[in-house]
Chains A and B, each alone.
Chain A
Amino acid sequence: MEKIKKITSMQLFLPIVCLVAVLLINVITTPGFFKISINNGVLYGYIVDVVNRASELVILAVGMTLVTAASGGQDISVGAVMAVAGAVICQILSGGEVSVNQIANPIILAVIAGVIVAGICGAFNGFLVAKLNIQPMVATLILYTAGRGIAQLITKGQITYIRDESYQVIGGFIKGCPVPTPIFVAIIVVVITMVILKKTALGLYIESVGINGDASRLVGLNSTMIKFLTYVICGVLAGVAGWVASSRIYSADANNIGLNLEMDAILAVALGGNNLGGGKFSLAGSIIGAFTIQALTTTLYAMNVSGDQLPVYKAIVVVVIVVLQSPVFKKFMATQKARKAAAQGGGQ
Chain B
Amino acid sequence: MKNLKQKMTGNSFLLIITVVLFLIMYGAGMVIFADKGFAKPQMFLNLFISNAGLLVMSMGLTIVMIAGGIDISVGSVTALVCMVCAKQMEQNGASAYAAVLIAIAIGLAFGLVQGFLISYLDIQPFIITLAGLFFGRGMTAVVSKDMISITNKTFLAWANYKIYLPVGSYSKKGNFIPAYIYPTVIIAILIFIVIALIMKFTKFGRSVYAVGGNAQSAMMMGLNVKRIKLKAYLLDGFLAGIGGFLFCLNSCSGFVEQAKGMEMDAISSAVIGGTLLSGGVGTPFGTVFGVLIKGTITSLITTQGTLSSWWVRIVLSALLCFFIVLQSIFASLKKKG
Q: How far is the CA of A128 from the CA of B323 in the complex (A)?
A: 12
Decide: A326 near B123, CB < 8 A? Known: A134-B324, A145-B264, A263-B134.
yes
Q: A126-170 interface mask toward B, CB cutoff 8 Å, 1 = contact, 0 = none?
A: 001000111101110111111001101100010000000000000
Q: Is B256 in the interface zone, CB < 8 Å from A?
A: yes
Q: Is B122 in the interface zone, CB < 8 Å from A?
A: yes
Interchain CB contact under 8 A, B126 and A149: no
Q: How far is the CA of A307 from the CA of B318 in the complex (A)?
A: 31
Q: Is A13 in the interface zone, CB < 8 Å from B?
A: no
Chain A residues with CB under 8 Å of B311's CB are: 149
Q: B306-328 interface mask toward A, CB cutoff 8 Å, 1 = contact, 0 = none?
A: 00101101100110110011001
B residues 18-43 near A (Cβ < 8 Å) are: none
The one of B139, B141, B314 that contacts A306, using a Cβ cutoff of 8 Å: B141
Q: Is A327 in the interface zone, CB < 8 Å from B?
A: yes
CB distance from A290 to the nearest CB of B (A): 17
Chain B residues with CB under 8 Å of A315's CB are: 131-135, 138
Interchain CB contact under 8 A, B138 and A312: yes
CB distance from B314 to the nearest CB of A (A): 5
Chain B residues with CB under 8 Å of A152's CB are: 308, 310
Q: Is A329 in the interface zone, CB < 8 Å from B?
A: yes
Interchain CB contact under 8 A, A326 and B134: no
Q: Which residues of B contact A (CB under 8 A)?
A: 70, 72, 117, 120-124, 126-128, 130-135, 137-139, 141-142, 145, 256, 261, 264, 267, 277, 308, 310-311, 313-314, 317-318, 320-321, 324-325, 328
Q: List 21 A-B pairs, Cβ < 8 Å.
A: A74-B127, A132-B324, A132-B325, A134-B328, A137-B70, A139-B324, A142-B320, A145-B261, A145-B317, A146-B317, A146-B318, A149-B310, A152-B310, A260-B134, A263-B130, A266-B127, A311-B137, A314-B138, A315-B135, A322-B128, A328-B122
Interchain CB contact under 8 A, B134 and A153: no
Name the prevailing secondary structure of the B interface residues: helix
Interchain CB contact under 8 A, B126 and A308: no
Name the prevailing secondary structure of the A interface residues: helix
The one of B139, B310, B320 that contacts A153, using a Cβ cutoff of 8 Å: B310
Q: Which residue of B lies closest to A270 (CB)?
A: B127
Q: Is A221 in the interface zone, CB < 8 Å from B?
A: no
Q: How far is the CA of A74 from the CA of B122 in the complex (A)?
A: 17
Q: Is A39 in the interface zone, CB < 8 Å from B?
A: no
Which of the four size classes fits the interface of chain A? 35 or more
Chain B residues with CB under 8 Å of A304's CB are: none
Decide: A312 near B261, CB < 8 A? Known: A132-B325, A146-B314, A318-B127.
no
Chain B residues with CB under 8 Å of A310's CB are: 138
Interchain CB contact under 8 A, B130 and A266: yes
The one of B121, B141, B325 that contacts A309, using a Cβ cutoff of 8 Å: B141
CB distance from B116 to the nearest CB of A (A): 10
Interchain CB contact under 8 A, B130 and A326: no
Interchain CB contact under 8 A, B145 and A319: no
Q: Which residue of A lies closest to B328 (CB)?
A: A132
Chain B residues with CB under 8 Å of A322's CB are: 117, 123-124, 127-128, 131
Chain B residues with CB under 8 Å of A260's CB are: 134
Q: Is A73 in the interface zone, CB < 8 Å from B?
A: yes
Decide: A137 near B135, CB < 8 A? Known: A149-B311, A306-B141.
no
Chain B residues with CB under 8 Å of A333's CB are: none
Interchain CB contact under 8 A, A76 and B122: no
Chain A residues with CB under 8 Å of B72's CB are: 137, 141
